[in-house]
Amino acid sequence: MNAPFSVNGVALQLTGVGKRYDSKIVLHELDLTLHAGEFVALVGRSGCGKSTLLRLIAGLDTASAGAIAADGKPHINLQQDTRLMFQDARLLPWKTVLQNVGLGLSGDWQSRAQEALAEVGLTEHADKWPAQLSGGQRQRVALARALIHRPRLLLLDEPLGALDALTRIEMHQLIERLWQHHGFTVLLVTHDVQEAAALADRVILIEEGRIGLDQAIDLPRPRARGTAAFAALEERILNRVLALPGHSEEPAPPLALEPVVPAALRWAL
Amino acid sequence: MSSKSSSRHLTNTLLPWLVPLLIILAWQAAASAGEIDNRVMPSPLAVLKAGKDLAASGQLWLHLKISFVRAMIGFAIGGGIGLALGLITGLSRRGELLLDSTVQMIRTIPPLALIPLVILWFGIDESAKLFLVAFGTLFPVYINTYHGIRSVDTGLVEMARSYGLKGWPLFRDVILPGALPSILVGVRFALGFAWILLIVAETISASTGIGYLATNAREFLQTDVVVLSILLYALLGKASDAVARLLERRWLRWHPAYQ
């Protein structure tokens, strides 16, 4: 059965959360509750606002309206307990795998980093550079880097989007196992309805900045993808996603930093 | 297998020297055969002999050392200021607004155009040469530091911030290593440029250094010493480039291009 609600996880409460960039409304006033230790997947078309919602919860952006509460308190203090995994692994290329895992730690971080690497099965790669790893291995390093902080809320922003099908399935098993072991709350943003149905307790569809569907997945774990019940659920969600005709893509949210000046001029004489 | 790879390694090491060697052999042959007038161009052996004589009298090391020290001090001053300014404009929006356009304006002045003014200011003593070298090496380091910092992957900075890094740790672990490849390109250019400026400065006004050696030899029609001085500059330039490449290899060993 699904993992019981856990003390290691954060309970999130979003009330009337909205986001606009200039005149463009990306998220309409949106209410959403995540129970402690719950695994929730956000699905939807490109540009529906699901990544924006994740960035608001991660504190990378601020909401234009509404409030986000964690365990009943304002979520500003949540940064310490939240870890975010990006679409690309975002490992520092000039640090070894082990140093990447220990980023931001002090004291006896090396043994802890070794433990975290062992959890994702990469112990023997500790001294390699990120450039020497495959895409799946890099995401596992990023996962270890997130886990070492014992997060109570793990935010996953399409972390498996760039991986091949077999590696994805391996990563699903790994994420599910670690989630069951640690009991943190997970919010997964994904394009892949099957991935959402395979992993999540609840799949939420975001359409044009609103919640279009809130579907509980009451299947036993680990979930076999071939069963009729699974296929029926997957199809139900997929049909709902496709029900609304596609809209033009929204512009990407502005970057946190100033635009990069292309380093075209390399020298001066 | 290993003997094959070691012989390939040997070939790779030796092959770049083949063309210079052939040129020197042809040059020596032409000089020995009397095809080239010794006053126009001395033979390689004559250059070698001039080098040996100067080395024996201690003159060679004296001038070499002085030129080397001048280049390094000038580079340290210019590169240091360039690095500091680049860090300021790269890291701070306000610093960029305040300083960048000024630096870019000064950058367009050819350093050699300053020579009359430099002689008026400093006369012909040490500080004139150091000023010229520092002036010329400042801008390559500045521009590459500035652009290096600006082109650090914003995704990595965002990631590091979300992991609680800010201030000095953020700079030390993310921004500086991200900018380092670009900064080292600037250092290589600056080192090459330091020698160009130094030879001009030493040729115009000096009583020591390799440039002086060459000018002085010209007065006495010692073409062998003139050629020797030119070769010394080439060797010094090559040596400083090798040092810069060594630094790249050491500091950028994480980079796929250096693995």
The tens digit of pLDDT for each residue in B91-144 reads: 999 999 999 999 999 999 988 888 888 888 888 778 889 999 999 999 999 999
Q: Pick from A168, A165, A129, A184: which is nearest to A6 by CA?
A: A184
The pair of structure tokens assigned to A29 is 């006033």
Contact residues, chain B, for A149 at CB < 8 Å? 163
Q: Are B209 and B217 in contact (CB under 8 A)?
A: no
Q: Are A136 and A167 in contact (CB under 8 A)?
A: yes
For the stretch B175-208, pLDDT in tens is: 999 999 999 999 999 998 898 888 888 888 778 8
> What pLDDT does A141 receive?
94
Contact yes or no for A256 and B160 at CB 8 A:
no
pLDDT beyond 90 at A71: no
| 3-state secondary structure at position B129 | helix
CA dihedral sign, ordered A243, A248, A254, A255 = positive
Q: Tokens 């290993």, residue? A: B2
Q: Are A84 and B162 in contact (CB under 8 A)?
A: yes
For the stretch A156-211, pLDDT in tens is: 999 888 888 888 888 999 999 999 999 999 999 998 899 999 999 999 998 888 88
**What residues of B are in the A interface, CB distance below 8 Å?**
93, 107, 139-140, 142-144, 147-148, 150-151, 154-165, 169, 173-174, 177-178, 180, 182, 185-186, 189, 193, 252-256, 259
Contact yes or no for B189 and A95 at CB 8 A:
no
Work out the number of other CB atoms within 10 angstroms of the CB of residue A116.
Answer: 23
For chain A, state the CA radius of gyration: 19
With cut-offs at 50, 70 and 90, classify the pLDDT of residue B29: very high
Task: Give the nearest partner residue to B163 out of A96, A103, A257, using CB atoms.
Answer: A103
A263 inside domain? no
A253 inside domain? no
B131 inside domain? yes
Percentage of chain A lying above the pLDDT 90 cut: 33
Task: Give the nearest partner residue to A263 out of B140, B148, B158, using CB atoms.
Answer: B148
> What pLDDT does B180 receive?
94
CA dihedral sign, ordered B161, B165, B171, B172 = negative
Contact yes or no for B139 and A83 at CB 8 A:
no
Domains held by chain A: number: 1
Q: Are A41 and A32 in contact (CB under 8 A)?
A: no
Contact yes or no for A256 and B158 at CB 8 A:
yes
> What pLDDT does A52 receive?
87
ipTM above 0.85, yes or no: no
Q: Are A256 and A23 in contact (CB under 8 A)?
A: no
The Cα–Cα gap between B3 and B13 comes to 15
The pair of structure tokens assigned to B134 is 């520092």
For residue A234, what is the domain's CATH number? 3.40.50.300
pLDDT beyond 90 at B78: yes
In DSSP notation, A158-171 reads: STTTTS-HHHHHHH
B33 inside domain? no
The Cα–Cα gap between B136 and B125 comes to 18
The contacts of residue B37 (CB under 8 Å, 6+ apart) are: none
The Cα–Cα gap between B215 and B203 comes to 6
- Closest-CA distance, A49 to chain B, in angstroms, reads 19
Contact yes or no for A104 and B160 at CB 8 A:
yes
Edge to edge, the sheet with strand A185-190 lists A82-85, A153-157, A185-190, A39-43, A202-207, A210-216
Contact residues, chain A, for B150 at CB < 8 Å? 258, 260-261, 263
Q: Pick from A116, A168, A124: which is nearest to A142 by CA?
A: A116
Residue type, B257: A
Residue A253, chain B, CB below 8 Å: the answer is no
The pair of structure tokens assigned to A178 is 């670690």
The Cα–Cα gap between A51 and A42 comes to 9
A and B: number of Cβ contacts within 8 A: 101
Degrees, nearest 5: CA angle A43-A45-A46 = 115
The Cα–Cα gap between A52 and A2 comes to 28
Residue A132, chain B, CB below 8 Å: the answer is yes
B1 inside domain? no
B186 inside domain? yes
B242 inside domain? yes
pLDDT beyond 80 at A117: yes
> What pLDDT does B3 receive?
63
CB neighbour class for A248 (10 Å; exposed up to 12, middle 13-18, buried from 19) = exposed
> What pLDDT does A189 receive?
94
Domain of B139? 49-253
Residue A11 CA: distances (Å) to CA of A14, A36, A154, B11, B242: 10, 4, 12, 66, 58
A168 inside domain? yes
Pairing of strands A12-21, A24-34: antiparallel
Residue B95 CA: distances (Å) to CA of A152, A201, B85, B133, B257: 40, 50, 9, 25, 33
User: What DSSP designation does A258 have?
Assistant: P
Reported residue count of chain B is: 259
With cut-offs at 50, 70 and 90, classify the pLDDT of residue A79: confident
pLDDT beyond 90 at A94: yes
Domain of A21? 12-243
For residue B186, what is the domain's CATH number? 1.10.3720.10
- Closest-CA distance, A164 to chain B, in angstroms, reads 23
Residue A106, chain B, CB below 8 Å: the answer is no
Domains held by chain B: number: 1
Contact residues, chain A, for B144 at CB < 8 Å? 266-267
Contact residues, chain B, for A261 at CB < 8 Å? 147, 150-151
Edge to edge, the sheet with strand A12-21 lists A24-34, A12-21, A65-70, A73-74
pLDDT beyond 60 at A267: no
With cut-offs at 50, 70 and 90, classify the pLDDT of residue A145: very high
User: What DSSP designation does B97 have?
Assistant: I
Q: Pick from A81, A115, A82: which is nearest to A98 by CA?
A: A115
pLDDT beyond 50 at A114: yes
